[in-house]
Amino acid sequence: METKTGTWIEKKGLAQMLKGGVIMDVVNAEQAKIAEEAGACAVMALERVPADIRADGGVARMSDPDMILKIIDAVSIPVMAKCRIGHFVEAQILEAIGVDYIDESEVLTPADEEHHILKHNFKVPFVCGCRNIGEALRRIGEGAAMIRTKGEAGTGDVVEAVRHARTVIGAIRQLQTMGDEELMTFAKNNGAPYELVVEVKQTGRMPVVNFAAGGVATPADAALMMQLGVDGVFVGSGIFKSGDPARRAAAIVKAVTHYQDASILAEVSKNLGEAMVGRNVSQMPEGEKMAGRGW
């Protein structure tokens, strides 16, 4: 029998297995175990969570492969890791050490200010950030097998996550009402590949799984994103920058499963201790925002 690996169905399929789940940022094996114990469906291995990247400044790069391997050894759930936008050699390294998903991420300092990685060249699947449907479909055109709305990482302010999710999901709804002859102009105006625009109109949904990210700090934030129509959530700084990470992590997992049940949401929101301190995005200078990185 013929066996094939690294196919589009395989890449897209792993993201489908993550649906209805929470992917948590972790910086060492101990945090990875806390995340797994709390019910995370995957972890994102990185040296510094976005809140610390903001505080420290400087160039943010791919993490040390040794640190990622220690996390891979510590847990049985999938392990993701970040490379810089356009840095295809960092991606080759992450593929070589066996990460399950690569996040070509605006949270790190971009290595290329015009081009993203041609992700079809890899066997390992990629997730990429987006702020609108054009950006999402360009990334999918390059081979991203999963999308996340960007939000504004490391702030604990959900406002940008809401804006980006509403923008993407609103555009999908808008496409449903358009005539076929309008689609090429839609593709032109949004900088999106025409064939993918046609597919979204026909199916009424994104061609790949779409998570929310960037600013989710509470169970209510997570359920808000789910009710807006995303498939799951990434939580970065929101867990391990809070007062009681294990408890908050478990509460956010429950909130994503029971996102439509307000009495369960009330129960899991009780006594979580201090949320991450947070930064108000509306008072942040444009130059400090990460979401604008991506082309």
Partner 1 sequence: MIMKIGVLALQGDFAEHISMLKRLGVDTAEVRLPKHLDGLDGLIIPGGESTTIGKLAVAYELLEPLKQFGREHAIWGTCAGAIFLSKDVSRDQPLLGLMDIKVQRNAFGRQVDSFETDLEIDELMRVTGTEHLYHAVFIRAPLIESVHGDAKILSALDDGRIVAAQEGHLLATSFHPELTNDTRFHEYFISLAS
**Hey, which residues between 21 and 80 contact partner 1 (CB under 8 A)?**
21, 36-42, 72, 76-78
The stretch among 14-22, 134-142, 149-157, 213-221 that binds partner 1 (CB under 8 A) is 14-22
Task: Quote the CA–CA distance of 68 and 9 in Å, as a whole number.
Answer: 26
The stretch among 18-26, 54-62, 235-243, 284-292 that binds partner 1 (CB under 8 A) is 18-26
Q: In this chain, which of 30, 64, 89, 98 binds partner 1, going by CB under 8 A? A: 98
Minimum CB–partner distance for residue 74 and partner 1 (Å): 13
Q: Is 12 among the residues known to form the active site?
A: no
Interaction of residue 14 with partner 1, rule CB under 8 A: yes
- 24: closest CA among 33, 12, 15, 13? 33
Q: Which letter, b or e, does each residue of 32-44 get, where b requires 16 or more Cβ atoms within 10 Å of its Cβ? A: bbbbbebbbbbbb
CB closer to partner 1 out of 130 and 250: 250
Interaction of residue 243 with partner 1, rule CB under 8 A: no
Interaction of residue 19 with partner 1, rule CB under 8 A: yes
Choosing from 11, 82, 201, 254, the catalytic residue is 82
Interaction of residue 120 with partner 1, rule CB under 8 A: no
Q: In this chain, which of 25, 90, 95, 106 binds partner 1, going by CB under 8 A? A: 95
Sequence-ordered strand ranges (E) for 37-168:
42-45, 79-84, 101-105, 126-130, 146-149
- The answer to whether the CB of 104 falls within 8 A of the CB of 116 is yes
Interaction of residue 90 with partner 1, rule CB under 8 A: no
Interaction of residue 257 with partner 1, rule CB under 8 A: yes
- 108: closest CA among 129, 136, 123, 138? 129
- 103: closest CA among 23, 8, 38? 23
- The answer to whether the CB of 219 falls within 8 A of the CB of 38 is no
Interaction of residue 124 with partner 1, rule CB under 8 A: yes
Helices 219-228, 245-257: axis angle to 10 degrees equals: 20
CB closer to partner 1 out of 52 and 267: 267
Tally of CB atoms within 10 A around 68: 23
Q: In this chain, which of 47, 52, 100, 199 binds partner 1, going by CB under 8 A? A: 100
Length of the chain in terms of residues written: 295
Q: Which two tokens stand for residue 107?
A: 């949270």
Residue ranges that bind partner 1, judged by CB under 8 A: 1-7, 9-10, 13-14, 16-21, 36-42, 72, 76-78, 95, 98-101, 123-125, 250, 253-254, 256-258, 261
Active-site annotation, residues: 82
